[in-house]
A = this chain, B = another copy of it.
Amino acid sequence: MTVTKKSWQDISAGMIKHREETIAAINPAVPEPPKDLPLNVTGIPAQLLPKDVISITETPTETLIQKLASGQLTSTAVTTAFLQRAGLASKLTNCVTELLPDRALDRAKILDDHFAKHGKTIGPLHGLPISVKEHLSMKGLDINAGFVSWVGKIAPDDALILKLLRKAGAVFYVRTTEPQALMHLETDNNIYGVTVNPYNTALTSGGSSGGEGALIGMHGSCLGIGTDIGGSIRSPAANNGVFGLRPTSFRLPVGGWAATMIGSEHIIPVIGPLSTSLEGVKVFMKTLIDQQPWVYEPSLVNMPWKEAPSATLLRKSDGKRKLRIGILADDGVVKPHPPILRGINTLVTKLRESPDIELVEFPPYKHEEAWQIISSLYLADGAAEEREAIDASGEPWQPLTDFIIKDNPNVKDLSISELWKLTQDRDGYKAAYNQHWNSINTTQPGPDKTSEVEVSAIPEMDKMVDVILTPTGPGCAPPHNCSRYWGYTSQWNLLDYPCLIFPTGLQAGSEDKAEEGYKPRNDQDRYNYELYKPETYVDAPISLQLVGRRYEEERLIEALEMMTDIAGMPFTT
């Protein structure tokens, strides 16, 4: 018997057909968008979907949770609404790999029946639909991680994070796109094609969790799961104007995903939420950590979710200390585009008026060196696994896969000695950056207060910066195949600092003039500078990043709540 190997094109066609069938199976039917579409498609759902679907899908995540918990909404109604809107979002942005109407509605019915019978929820996410990036295992479903050759691999079990979310009451109803090899800050693979940005479909949705980003940006989901090793949660969150959190490693369970580089621990990939609301991010973290996931996944840190007041940054009620924000507007390598700088300036101007906030410039510390180190550690086997997984099907290499693997001079098959040397460089850089953080606006390390007992110089904590405000990238969502500078996100993967992405509410526009006569600092800076034309970026969300110290997710969220409150975000243009 001869087996004819399917071409990669046939495999792709089969997967797209399956995806379309799952969308076609939604009842009521997902409407077909008109042929002539504006670049900004975020307004289309309101034109095509029933009012109640719009109302449900645009309800803040935390309010949806409350309405489900009080019986004001059924899980069936909410799940049906999100299935419809996700189907439409996919027709508009190509963000979905499949809908799961049968699984989701069966589950919703069980939850609704339980609520009807017992009058109470089964957990804090009772009935809430959650979207899931494709490469997180769902038992019995394909997991391909963006490689054509992996199509047909079937997940033997659910990822642990899904088991815990399910136990808390979640309903999984949609799986979302990701790029080839999971290693782009965009989303394009040879199975499903390009996922575009709903605010401007000529721009990228970001990546690698770009399916999540576009879907949530379209309100086709209110809460979804992404993964991040260089910016993969944050780039799509920023590009699509939603919230996203890259937690410190080993706080959330990562067991059960499909990817290359499994076993590599030089740079730790993490899992985290994207959501239409900051509360969505918070409830996701709290719900998982309250279940003590370290009991099931022993690599995790046994660290409870800290609720205020123990995690409270000092606020108005306590005059002793202000929230101290370091402003890192430009990493010194690639200067951000005008809309990003406008976003930071607008926010900083508002914050400056508050007596509860202290702003301090946070100079970059050798961010170029950080990229050297991290880009050498990512693919320390010379990207052997990626090459094999791509070439096995004959699928073409994507330009951004070339960029990060073939055109990246730091990708080498290292020896163990070289690896250890790089790991030392990494740890040395981390130590130096930490010292840098400790030194900002602190009295220089010098004679201690108790100098008569000759204590070695250790900096004092009470004057240190709490969080850093910085861009998520060197611009808003760029056109396709142009996301070639990772530094604003990968910097924090190297350091393993938690990062929170938030939309300012502002959007790029014609007022963001290009800087005349700018002299680029280097090739990367030149590429980015030349990319910028105000008309290219129209309507792109202006999002920013807040960075905290390791394991301080709770304070990071609280800091953003405080900043939002004080500055009156979201801003309106």
Residues of B near A420 (CB, < 8 A) are 261-264, 381
Those of A100-151 within 8 Å (CB) of chain B: 107, 110-111, 113-114, 122
> How many Å from the CB of A289 to the closest CB on chain B?
13
Among A110, A163, A417, A461, chain B packs the most CB atoms within 10 A around the CB of A417
Stretch in A190-198, A276-284, A447-455, A529-537 touching the partner? A447-455
Indicate if the CB atoms of B263 and A551 lie closer than 8 Å.
no
Does A72 sit within 8 A of B, measured CB to CB? no
A550-B413 contact in complex given A261-B420, A263-B423, A456-B163, C-beta closer than 8 Å = no
Contact with B along A181-215 (1 / 0, CB 8 A): 00000000000000000000000000000000000
Those of A377-435 within 8 Å (CB) of chain B: 380-382, 384-385, 413-417, 419-424, 427, 430-431, 433-434
Contact with B along A297-321 (1 / 0, CB 8 A): 1110111000000000000000000
Indicate if the CB atoms of B255 and A431 lie closer than 8 Å.
yes
Across the interface, name the chain B residue whose C-beta is closest to A298: B434
A122-B450 contact in complex given A414-B416, A456-B166, A551-B302, C-beta closer than 8 Å = yes
Question: Size class of A's contact patch?
Answer: 35 or more
Indicate if the CB atoms of B295 and A424 lie closer than 8 Å.
no
Residues of B near A114 (CB, < 8 A) are 450, 452-453
Residues of B near A414 (CB, < 8 A) are 416
A416 partner, pick from B296, B419, B421, B549, beta carbons under 8 A: B419
A263 partner, pick from B167, B297, B302, B419, beta carbons under 8 A: B419
Does A98 sit within 8 A of B, measured CB to CB? no
Does A458 sit within 8 A of B, measured CB to CB? yes
CA of A441 to CA of B255, assembled, Å: 25
> How many Å from the CB of A436 to the closest CB on chain B?
11
Those of A251-270 within 8 Å (CB) of chain B: 255, 261-266
> How many Å from the CB of A230 to the closest CB on chain B?
18
Does A294 sit within 8 A of B, measured CB to CB? yes
CA of A551 to CA of B298, assembled, Å: 10
Indicate if the CB atoms of B298 and A416 lie closer than 8 Å.
no
Indicate if the CB atoms of B381 and A431 lie closer than 8 Å.
no
A298-B381 contact in complex given A263-B424, A413-B416, C-beta closer than 8 Å = no
Residues of B near A545 (CB, < 8 A) are none
Residues of B near A427 (CB, < 8 A) are 263, 299
> How many Å from the CB of A117 to the closest CB on chain B?
9
Does A552 sit within 8 A of B, measured CB to CB? yes
Indicate if the CB atoms of A158 and B456 lie closer than 8 Å.
yes
Does A292 sit within 8 A of B, measured CB to CB? yes
The chain A residues found within 8 Å of chain B, CB to CB, are 107, 110-111, 113-114, 122, 158, 163-164, 166-167, 169, 255, 261-266, 292, 294-299, 301-303, 380-382, 384-385, 413-417, 419-424, 427, 430-431, 433-434, 438, 450, 452-456, 458-459, 461, 464, 495-496, 549-552
Q: What are 13 A-B contacts with C-beta separation under 8 Å?
A: A114-B452, A166-B455, A261-B420, A262-B420, A263-B423, A265-B423, A294-B550, A298-B430, A301-B301, A302-B549, A381-B415, A413-B415, A415-B415
**Given A263-B419, A263-B420, A413-B416, 14 more pairs with CB closer than 8 A:** A110-B453, A114-B453, A163-B458, A167-B458, A255-B431, A261-B420, A262-B420, A263-B424, A265-B266, A265-B423, A296-B434, A301-B551, A303-B551, A415-B416
